[in-house]
């Protein structure tokens, strides 16, 4: 068994309901158990900015499947929840990304772990800092990396139970 951390975002439709549904669907997937979920945040879009702010969180999971099996599960959940890939960084009903998978480093055309841009994104690092604040991330803790990003990017905590 290993732990994986999944970034979750939504800004199209009933985002909070969609995030809850995605968590339920992942938790019911084979070889996956959602163990903790960070607080929910509202964050500015990145890249394509002419769209609503996102709701974001990170889920911790115990996994007994391979990273590629987990990727397949996440893509199936996205599809069932109406994810359409038309505009890069555009609006989406649900976005699920494998951020970390144990201590593994994966460089494959279908999957890169750790997620290649996670250290640049407050919407990833801030919720991740609630789950693994002291984990090393490039010579500093996840908590320190999140604090540095919060100085540059707008992040708002939400009062929604997930």
Q: Which of 24, 72, 83, 136 is catalytic?
A: 83
Q: Tokens in use for 3? A: 């732990």
Active site residue 42: no
Q: How far apart are CA 54 and CA 12, in angstroms?
A: 8
Active site residue 161: no
Q: What is the predicted pLDDT for the residue at 88? A: 63
pLDDT per residue of the chain (162 residues) written in tens, 0 to 9: 999 999 999 999 999 999 999 999 999 999 999 999 999 998 877 777 678 888 999 999 999 999 999 999 999 999 999 877 676 666 789 999 999 999 999 999 999 999 988 988 888 999 999 999 999 998 999 999 999 888 776 676 676 667
Contact between 47 and 89 (Cβ < 8 Å): yes
Class of domain 2-157: alpha beta
Q: What is the predicted pLDDT for the residue at 155? A: 72
Expressed in angstroms, the distance from the first to the final Cα of the chain is 24
Q: What is the predicted pLDDT for the residue at 160? A: 65
Give domain limits for the chain: 2-157
Q: Return the CA Rg of the chain.
A: 15
CA-closest candidate to residue 98, choices 1, 3, 13: 3
Q: What is the predicted pLDDT for the residue at 45? A: 79
Q: What is the predicted pLDDT for the residue at 90? A: 64
Measured torsion, CA atoms of residues 71, 79, 36, 60, in degrees rounded to the nearest 10? 20
Q: Which of 17, 50, 97, 161 is catalytic?
A: 97
Q: What is the predicted pLDDT for the residue at 62? A: 98
Strand pairing of 95-101 and 140-141?
unpaired
Q: CA angle 131-121-143, nearest 5°?
A: 35
Active site residue 95: yes
Q: Which of 95, 134, 135, 143 is catalytic?
A: 95
Count CB-CB contacts under 10 A for residue 43: 21
Instruction: Show the DSSP H helices in 34-137 as ranges.
Output: 67-80, 122-131
Q: Which of 14, 17, 92, 135 is catalytic?
A: 92
């Amino acid at each position: 068994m290993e732990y994986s951390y999944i970034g979750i975002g939504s800004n199209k439709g009933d985002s909070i309901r969609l995030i809850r549904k995605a968590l339920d669907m992942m938790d019911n997937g084979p070889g996956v158990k959602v163990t903790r979920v960070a607080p929910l945040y509202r964050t500015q879009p990145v890249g394509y900015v002419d769209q609503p702010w996102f709701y974001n969180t990170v889920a911790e999971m115990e996994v007994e499947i391979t990273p590629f099996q987990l990727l397949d599960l996440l893509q199936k959940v996205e599809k069932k929840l109406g994810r359409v890939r038309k505009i890069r960084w555009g609006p989406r009903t649900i976005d699920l990304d494998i951020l970390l998978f144990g201590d593994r480093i994966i460089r494959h055309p279908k999957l890169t772990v750790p997620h290649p841009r996670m250290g640049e994104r407050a919407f990833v690092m801030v919720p991740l800092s609630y789950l693994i604040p002291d984990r090393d991330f490039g010579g500093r803790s996840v908590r320190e990396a999140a604090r540095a990003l919060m100085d540059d990017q707008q992040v708002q905590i939400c009062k929604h139970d997930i």
